[in-house]
Amino acid sequence: MKNPIHLFSLTFFFFVGCITLEKEKNIESNSKNSILIADKQFQEKTELQKSMQRGKNIYSGFCMQCHLPDGKGVPGNFPPLAGSDWLTEKRSESIYVVKYGQTGEIIVNGVKYNNVMAPLGLSDDEVADVMNYIMNSWENTQNQMVTVEEVKAVKK
Amino acid sequence: MKYFLSYVVAISFFTSCAQQLKLNDIPIKEEVRNYTIKSFVSNINIPWGMTWLPDGSMLITEKSGDLIHFINDEKINITTTFDDLYVRGQGGLLDIELHPNYPENGWIYISYASNEGEGEGGNTKLVRAKLIENNLTQVETLYKATPNTTSGVHFGSRIVFDKEGYVYLTIGDRGNHEENPQNLQKDGGKVYRFHEDGRIPDDNPFTNEAGAKTSIFSYGHRNLQGMAIHPTSGKIWTHEHGPKGGDEINILKKGANYGWPEITYGLNYNGTIITEETERDGMENPIYYWFPSIAPSGMAFVTGDKFPEWKGNLLVGSLKFQYLELVQLNGNNVISRQKIATDIGRLRNVKIGPDGYIYIAVEGKGIERITPN
ipTM here = 0.76
Q: Parallel, antiparallel, or unpaired: how do β-strands B123-132 and B135-144 relate?
A: antiparallel
Closest partner residue to B152 (CB to CB) among A61, A77, A114 is A61
Q: Is A61 on the interface with B (CB under 8 A)?
A: yes
The number of CA neighbours under 13 Å toward the Cβ of A28 is 6
Beta bridge partners, B75, equal: B70
DSSP H or E run through B2: helix B2-20
Q: What angle do CA A71, B224, B266 make, to 5 degrees?
A: 50
Confidence at residue A120, expressed as pLDDT on a 0 to 100 scale? 93
CB–CB contacts below 8 A, A to B: 50
**What is the pLDDT averaged over residues B268-281?**
90
- What's the CATH fold of domain A2-153? Cytochrome Bc1 Complex; Chain D, domain 2 (1.10.760)
Residues of B with CB under 8 A from a CB of A: 45-46, 63-64, 86-89, 91-92, 151-153, 175, 269-271, 295, 320, 322, 345-346, 363-364
CA B334 to chain centre: 18
Q: Which residues of B touch A60 (CB under 8 A)?
A: 269
Task: List the one residue out of B79, B44, B80 whose CA is nearest residue B62.
Answer: B44
Q: Where are the domains of chain B?
A: 79-293
pLDDT band at A77 (very low <50, low <70, confident <90, very high): confident
Q: Please, which contacts does B138-144 make with residues 24 or more away whose CB atoms are closer than 8 Å?
A: B139/B81, B139/B82, B140/B197, B140/B198, B141/B116, B141/B198, B142/B109, B142/B167, B142/B194, B142/B197, B142/B198, B143/B169, B143/B192, B143/B194, B143/B198, B143/B215, B144/B114, B144/B116, B144/B117
Q: Is A69 on the interface with B (CB under 8 A)?
A: yes
Strand-by-strand arrangement of the B159-161 sheet? B159-161, B167-171, B190-194, B216-219
- Please report, as a single letter, which amino acid is at residue A69: P
Query: To the nearest whole number, what is the mean pLDDT of chain B?
Result: 94
What is the C-alpha to C-alpha distance for residues B367 and B373, in angstroms, rounded to an integer? 19
| Residue B154 annotated as catalytic | yes
Task: List the one residue out of A77, A98, A75 whose CA is nearest residue A154.
Answer: A98
Confidence at residue A39, expressed as pLDDT on a 0 to 100 scale? 58
User: Lowest-confidence range among B12-21, B23-32, B151-160?
Assistant: B12-21
Percent of chain B scored above 90 by pLDDT? 90
Task: List the one residue out of B11, B9, B10, B22 whose CA is nearest residue B292.
Answer: B22
- What's the CATH fold of domain B79-293? Neuraminidase (2.120.10)
Say which residues have a Cβ less than 8 Å from residue B162's Cβ, sequence separation at least 6: B168, B229, B234, B236
What is the C-alpha to C-alpha distance for residues B97 and B79, in angstroms, rounded to an integer? 17
Helix axes A91-100, A124-135, angle to 10 degrees: 130
Q: How far is A26 from chain B (nearest CA, A)?
A: 51
Chain A contact probe: residue of B90, B177, B247, B318 with most A CBs at under 10 A? B90
Confidence at residue B351, expressed as pLDDT on a 0 to 100 scale? 98
The percent of chain B in helix, strand and coil, each rounded to the nearest 5, is 5, 40, 50
Closest partner residue to A119 (CB to CB) among B87, B153, B363 is B87
Interchain proximity B295–A69, CB inside 8 Å: no
Confidence at residue B24, expressed as pLDDT on a 0 to 100 scale? 77
**What is the pLDDT averaged over residues A32-60?**
75
pLDDT band at A28 (very low <50, low <70, confident <90, very high): very low
Q: What angle do CA B315, B321, B324 make, to 5 degrees?
A: 20
Q: Annotated catalytic residue: which of B99, B154, B221, B241? A: B154
- Decide if B114 contacts B87 (C-beta within 8 A): no
Q: How far is A138 from chain B (nearest CA, A)?
A: 13
Chain A contact probe: residue of B88, B174, B294 with most A CBs at under 10 A? B88
Torsion B330-B331-B333-B337 (CA) sign: positive
**Rg of chain B, C-alpha, whole Å:** 21
pLDDT band at B20 (very low <50, low <70, confident <90, very high): low
Say which residues have a Cβ less than 8 Å from residue A8's Cβ, sequence separation at least 6: none
Interchain proximity B88–A120, CB inside 8 Å: yes
Interchain proximity A114–B364, CB inside 8 Å: yes
pLDDT band at A43 (very low <50, low <70, confident <90, very high): low
- Decide if B331 contacts B323 (C-beta within 8 A): no
Task: List the one residue out of B181, B183, B294, B298 whose CA is nearest residue B246.
Answer: B294
Interchain proximity A120–B151, CB inside 8 Å: no
Find, in chain B, the residue whose alpha carbon is nearest to that of A76.
B343
Closest partner residue to B152 (CB to CB) among A74, A103, A120 is A120
How many Cβ atoms from other residues are within 10 Å of residue B364's Cβ? 19
User: Lowest-confidence range among A28-42, A100-114, B266-280, B335-349?
Assistant: A28-42
Say which residues have a Cβ less than 8 Å from residue B142's Cβ, sequence separation at least 6: B109, B126, B127, B128, B167, B194, B197, B198
Confidence at residue A36, expressed as pLDDT on a 0 to 100 scale? 55
The single-letter DSSP state of residue B183 is -
Residues in chain A, how many? 156
Interchain proximity A65–B46, CB inside 8 Å: no
Percent of chain B scored above 70 by pLDDT? 94
The number of CA neighbours under 13 Å toward the Cβ of B294 is 30
Confidence at residue B39, expressed as pLDDT on a 0 to 100 scale? 98
- Please report, as a single letter, which amino acid is at residue B180: N
Q: Is A120 on the interface with B (CB under 8 A)?
A: yes
How does pLDDT run across B142-180, given as a tens digit for each residue?
Answer: 999 999 999 999 999 999 999 999 999 999 999 999 999
Interchain proximity B88–A64, CB inside 8 Å: no
Confidence at residue A20, expressed as pLDDT on a 0 to 100 scale? 41
Percent of chain A scored above 70 by pLDDT? 71
Confidence at residue B58, expressed as pLDDT on a 0 to 100 scale? 98
**What is the pLDDT averaged over residues A111-140?**
94
How does pLDDT run across B215-247, given as a tens digit for each residue?
Answer: 999 999 999 999 999 999 999 999 999 998 899
Interchain proximity B151–A116, CB inside 8 Å: no
The single-letter DSSP state of residue A27 is H
Say which residues have a Cβ less than 8 Å from residue A67's Cβ, sequence separation at least 6: A73, A78, A79, A80, A81
